[in-house]
Chains A and B, each alone.
Chain A
C-alpha cells in the first residue's frame, strides 16, 4: 500500500520567516495530495491541496509544490505568524475522493515571536 513519509517531525521558526515541510510518497499512482492543519485539541482542517496534473498551487501565504518524478511534495508557509503554530499533516490518495487517504506522521510547527 501507499506509504507517506513526512519531515521534519518538529520545526521552529522565527515569526516572519518561512517554513517548509516535506513529504514523500511511494505509490506512483497517487494523484491527490491534501495538507491539513490541526490546532491543539481541534480537528484536522484542510488548508490546501494539489492534484497530479499541477506542479504548484498558492493560496496567500501558503503554497504547495509537487514533483511527480521524485514522488515528493512540499508545503511552504511564508511570513509566518503565531497563529500558524499547529501540527501539519500531508496526505496522498489514488483518487480525488476519500477511499484511501494515507497521512504522513505530522509536523509540529512552532512560531517563535
Chain B
C-alpha cells in the first residue's frame, strides 16, 4: 500500500528538549516536504527536498532542521523547541510534477 508515515502522531514535550519527527514514504518519490498547519494561517512550508542530500528552506524554516540521507526518509528536527512551535505538522511527498501526498500529521505541543 502506497503511503506516507509519520511518527510520532502526538507529542507533548517541554521547551528546549530536542526532538525528531520521522517521515517515511514507500512510493520512491523524489520530492518531500514538511508543512505546519496553524488556525487561520493555513499550511506553511517549512523545508523541502528535491532528492537525496538536496534540501531547501520553505517559508518558515526558523527553528527547524531537516536531512535527506535516504530517498524514503525526511526527518524534521527541532533542536530546541519553543511554545510557538506548537502546531500540527504534515510531511508530504510527490514524484516529479505530481501534487504532494500528505502524511497523517503529527500534533506537537511544546510547554
Count residues of chain B with CB under 8 A from any CB of chain A.
Answer: 29
Interface residues of B in 20-44 (CB under 8 A from A): 31-33, 35, 40-44
B31: contacting residue among A1, A91, A98, A102, CB under 8 A? A98
Contact (A96, B97) CB under 8 Å given A1-B59, A102-B59, A103-B44: yes
Residues of B within 8 A of A45 (CB): 102
Dominant secondary structure of chain B at its interface with chain A: strand
B33 touches A98 (CB 8 A): yes
Proximity string of chain B (39-71) to chain A, C-beta cutoff 8 Å, 1 when within and 0 when not = 011111100101000001011000000000000
Query: A1 CA to B101 CA in the complex, in Å?
Result: 23
Query: A1 CA to B104 CA in the complex, in Å?
Result: 28
Using a CB–CB distance below 8 Å, which chain B residues touch chain A? 31-33, 35, 40-45, 48, 50, 56, 58-59, 90, 92-94, 96-105
Query: A1 CA to B35 CA in the complex, in Å?
Result: 17
Dominant secondary structure of chain A at its interface with chain B: loop
Query: A100 CA to B96 CA in the complex, in Å?
Result: 13
Residues of A within 8 A of B44 (CB): 103
